[in-house]
């Protein structure tokens, strides 16, 4: 679904550090943070 939005791992012409974490883990972390923020905000308004 969002696969097209995630940049592929590629080698830069300038060099750079290779990824040490998979993009799935990055997305899981982002989704977790979003859920936590929503739950936290909802509990303050309740």
Q: What is the pLDDT of residue 45?
A: 66
Burial class (CB in 10 A: 0-12, 13-18, 19+), 27: middle
> Vertex 36, ends 44 and 42: CA angle to 5°?
25
Helix, strand, coil percent values for the chain (each to nearest 5): 55, 0, 45
The string of pLDDT tens digits covering residues 1-46 is: 777 877 777 777 777 888 888 888 988 998 899 888 887 887 776 6
Q: Are 35 and 45 in contact (CB under 8 A)?
A: no
């Amino acid at each position: 679904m969002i696969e097209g939005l995630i940049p592929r791992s590629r080698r830069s012409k300038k060099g750079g550090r290779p990824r040490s974490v998979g993009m799935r883990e990055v997305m899981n972390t982002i989704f977790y943070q979003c859920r936590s923020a929503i739950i936290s905000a909802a509990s303050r308004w309740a």
